[in-house]
Amino acid sequence: MQKEELYSLIDEIIPDQPVSLNDIPDIELYIDQVTDFFEKKLSLQKRHSKDKLLTKTMINNYAKAGILIPPRRKKYSRQHIALLLLLYNSKQVLSINDISLLFSILRKPVDKHNEAEDAGSNIWIDLVYTLVQEINNEQAEQLKQTCEKQGDIIREKTGGMNDETRELTEWFLMAMFLVSQAALQKRLAETIIDRHFKNDAPAKGKSNTRSANENP
């Protein structure tokens, strides 16, 4: 397992330029324009070229479920798109129910649905989105450092293997390490949601019935 190849894979999956708040149009867009924006900005994140990043049905269902602020006159603001970008990343890991609980903090300022509350909500969503991007902007380097350290441990443990089986075994062990880390981080995120974002925490051992990969 070559470190350079691993770094190349990390660079391939993490974009050099994440979608900043300034990249999002500060004008209201129709739903077709929103899905086109996602295709343009996030196309490199597709695993397969035919995959759909975001569909009209998904957007409508998010709004009906109360996760997304309802559009005005069928148009979506910059804040709608910022929320959808955060939601897109979240749904790779969390269930829709957990996302709804987590995103409740972003909906609270607009409960009264008046112009003053809406303006406050827009500022709040802009701020939160920007902070998320700031804390994530060094994730490629952080992941490289983590994988480099683990790669050294893996190479040490596979040192006695012959060349025919060693490399593939090292890639297997690295993949399993990443799976283990992802599972732990997912569980920690779920625990934070259970403790801080809902009133009635489930009994220990119980989990949401809806799949984390299930689209609404």
Query: Nearest 5 degrees, angle CA 167-CA 170-CA 176?
Result: 145
Digit-by-digit pLDDT tens for the chain (216 residues) are 888 898 888 888 877 677 899 999 989 999 999 999 999 988 888 888 888 889 999 998 888 888 888 888 889 999 999 999 999 989 999 999 999 999 988 875 444 455 545 666 788 899 999 999 888 888 888 899 999 999 999 999 998 888 878 999 999 999 999 999 999 999 999 999 999 998 754 444 444 434 434 444
pLDDT on residue 105: 85
Instruction: Give a yes or no: residue 174 inside a domain.
Output: no
Does this model's pTM top 0.85? no
User: Could you give the CA distance from residue 18 to residue 146 in angstroms, rounded to a whole number?
Assistant: 21
Using a 10 angstrom Cβ sphere, with 0-12 exposed, 13-18 middle and 19 or more buried, the burial of residue 54 is buried
Instruction: Give a yes or no: residue 191 inside a domain.
Output: no
Instruction: Give a yes or no: residue 123 inside a domain.
Output: yes
Structural tokens at position 57: 């049905």
Span 145-189, pLDDT tens digits: 999 999 999 999 998 888 878 999 999 999 999 999 999 999 999
pLDDT on residue 213: 43
pLDDT on residue 118: 62
The range of the structural domain enclosing residue 95 comes to 17-137
Instruction: Give a yes or no: residue 29 inside a domain.
Output: yes
Structural tokens at position 144: 């490289």
Question: Residue 45: which of 67, 21, 20, 19 has the closest Cα?
Answer: 19
Instruction: Give a yes or no: residue 70 inside a domain.
Output: yes
Instruction: Give a yes or no: residue 72 inside a domain.
Output: yes
Instruction: Give a yes or no: residue 95 inside a domain.
Output: yes
Question: Residue 87: which of 109, 57, 54 has the closest Cα?
Answer: 54
Span 62-80, pLDDT tens digits: 888 888 888 888 899 999 9
Could you tell me the CA-to-CA distances from 145 to 101, 115, 151, 174, 177 in Å, in that order? 33, 46, 10, 13, 14
pLDDT on residue 120: 66
Structural tokens at position 28: 């209201």
User: Could you give the CA distance from residue 71 to residue 93 in angstroms, rounded to a whole number?
Assistant: 26
Instruction: Give a yes or no: residue 61 inside a domain.
Output: yes
Task: Tell me the HSE value of 211 on the side-chain side, using a 13 A CA sphere.
Answer: 4
Q: How many residues would you count in the chain?
A: 216
Q: Give the count of domains, the chain.
A: 1
User: Could you give the CA distance from residue 49 to residue 190 in angstroms, rounded to a whole number?
Assistant: 30
Question: Residue 12: which of 51, 41, 46 has the closest Cα?
Answer: 46
pLDDT on residue 137: 82
